[in-house]
Amino acid sequence: QVQLVESGGGLVQAGGSLRLSCAASGRLFSINGMGWYRQAPGKQRELVAAITSGGSTNYADSVKGRFTISRDNAKNTVYLQMNSLKPEDTAVYYCNAWGTGFTYWGQGTQVTVSS
């Protein structure tokens, strides 16, 4: 089992910044990578950014150049730095961890960007 706890969401004006954190605990040795997904009302959940255990990163085209995913292995924490936020970034953001044959989700944190 892997437990994921997100924090850092909130309300911000367009153009502002937020940093999301995801603290992982449990069977961490089994994790191959972690990522952030988001789901806006009426839309499907989509990948925002991901980072593998080897450090490779992947971003959705809509956030490239604005968001940065990083990790602190000593703290078992993954971060999502979000800059130049836009109203269309408004969504519930979910932390995800995956390994061979499994995937785990956090409870989600709301990000609201006002225009």
CB atoms within 10 A of CB 29: 7
Residue 63 DSSP code: G
The per-residue pLDDT for 30 is 84
The per-residue pLDDT for 73 is 86
CA dist 100 and 73 (Å) reads: 20
pLDDT truncated to tens, each residue of the chain (115 aa)? 899 999 999 999 999 999 999 999 988 888 899 999 999 999 999 999 999 999 999 999 999 999 999 999 889 999 999 999 999 999 999 999 999 899 999 999 999 999 9
Strands 46-52 and 57-59 come out as antiparallel
The per-residue pLDDT for 27 is 84
- Determine the 3-state secondary structure of 48 from DSSP: strand
- How far, CA to CA in Å, does 22 sit from each of 11, 33, 60, 114? 18, 13, 19, 24
